[in-house]
Structure 1
Amino acid sequence: MADKTLVCKDCGEEFVFTEGEQEFYKEKGFENDPVRCNTCRKARKQQSNRR
């Protein structure tokens, strides 16, 4: 496995999905790659917690 460069669906910026993160996703049984960068993921999570 190698690092992957993905594009965030919220901000459109490229981000790296590292080999270690891919291993973690595989161990957890996640089948899809992330669609948001860490910054947008954190912002979305904060918005969800405010409600």
Structure 2
Amino acid sequence: MTDKTLVCINCGKEFIFTEGEQGFYKEKGFENEPKRCPDCRKARKLQRSRE
């Protein structure tokens, strides 16, 4: 595996999906790559926890 550059569906900013993150996703059984950058993921998680 190598680092991948992905584009966030929320803000359009490019972010790196590192080898380590890819390994973590695979270990957890996640089949899809992240669609949001770390900042947007944090914001979404905060928003969902407040509901």
**TM-score relative to the length of structure 2:** 0.97
Counterpart of 1:11?
A: 11
Alignment-derived partner of residue 24 in structure 1: 24
Q: Which residue of 1 aligns with 2:47?
A: 47
SS of equivalent to 1:5: strand
RMSD: 0.4
- In the alignment of these two chains, the number of paired residues is 51
What stretches of structure 2 of length at least 5 have no aligned partner? none
How far has the Cα of 1:46 moved from its partner? 0.5
Quote the sequence identity (%). 73
For 1:18 and 1:11, locate their aligned partners in 2 and report how far apart those are by CA, in whole Å: 19
| Structure 1 gap segments, 5+ residues each | none
What is the CA–CA distance in structure 2 between the aligned matches of 1:15 and 1:30, rounded to whole Å? 19
TM normalised by structure 1 equals 0.97
| CA deviation string 1:20-49 (max 9, x = no partner) | 000000001100000000000000011111
**How much does 1:7 deviate?**
0.1
